[in-house]
């Protein structure tokens, strides 16, 4: 079995952003040489997420509004007693998840017709990374 690891780095200009990374992950899969296997894509920070969904602007707005209703920015979270101001970002990450596993078939990501891979940043404006680990034959 082959194993190939690469990192994607992000430094967002906003506190919260959704970044489409499907093409970057597909490029890493191609570099790996794996024809049949899986790609693990994982946010390596506790205030960011990786998820799979449709790349449609209305849906991105719906997701952002939904997350803000469930974990609003600016509430007096207990976490803020440590000097932080990002309690909402930690909760949003729990809601969206921190990683996905994508099948690889014939050397390509095997996504559904509308599926795309996103990096979601909830406490940005600093450097963060995502690991992409490709495993297979």
Residue-range domain boundaries for the chain:
2-73+85-136
Tokens of 114: 């509308």
**Regarding the domain delimited by 2-73+85-136, which CATH topology (the fold level of the hierarchy) does it fall under?**
Jelly Rolls (2.60.120)
pTM of the model: 0.96
What average pLDDT does range 1-19 have in this prediction? 97
Q: Please give the Cα distance from 10 to 121 (Å, whole number).
A: 9
The side-by-side arrangement of strands in the sheet containing 108-109 is 2-11, 127-136, 37-43, 99-105, 108-109
Q: Identify the band that residue 124 occupies on the pLDDT scale cut at 50, 70 and 90.
A: very high
Q: Identify the band that residue 114 occupies on the pLDDT scale cut at 50, 70 and 90.
A: very high
What average pLDDT does range 34-52 have in this prediction? 98
Tokens of 88: 């909402």
Residues above pLDDT 90, as percent of the chain: 100
């Amino acid at each position: 079995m082959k194993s190939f690891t690469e990192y994607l780095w992000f430094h967002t200009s906003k506190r919260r952003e959704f970044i489409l990374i499907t093409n970057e992950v597909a490029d890493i899969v191609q570099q790996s040489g794996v024809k049949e296997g899986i790609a693990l894509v994982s946010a390596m920070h506790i205030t960011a997420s990786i998820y799979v969904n449709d790349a449609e602007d209305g849906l991105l707005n719906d997701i952002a509004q939904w997350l803000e209703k469930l974990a609003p920015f600016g509430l007096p979270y207990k976490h803020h007693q440590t000097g932080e101001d990002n309690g909402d970002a930690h909760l949003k990450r729990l809601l969206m998840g921190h990683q996905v596993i994508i099948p690889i078939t014939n050397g390509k990501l095997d996504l559904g017709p509308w599926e795309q891979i996103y990096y979601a940043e909830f406490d940005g404006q600093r450097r963060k990374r995502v690991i992409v680990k490709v495993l297979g034959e």
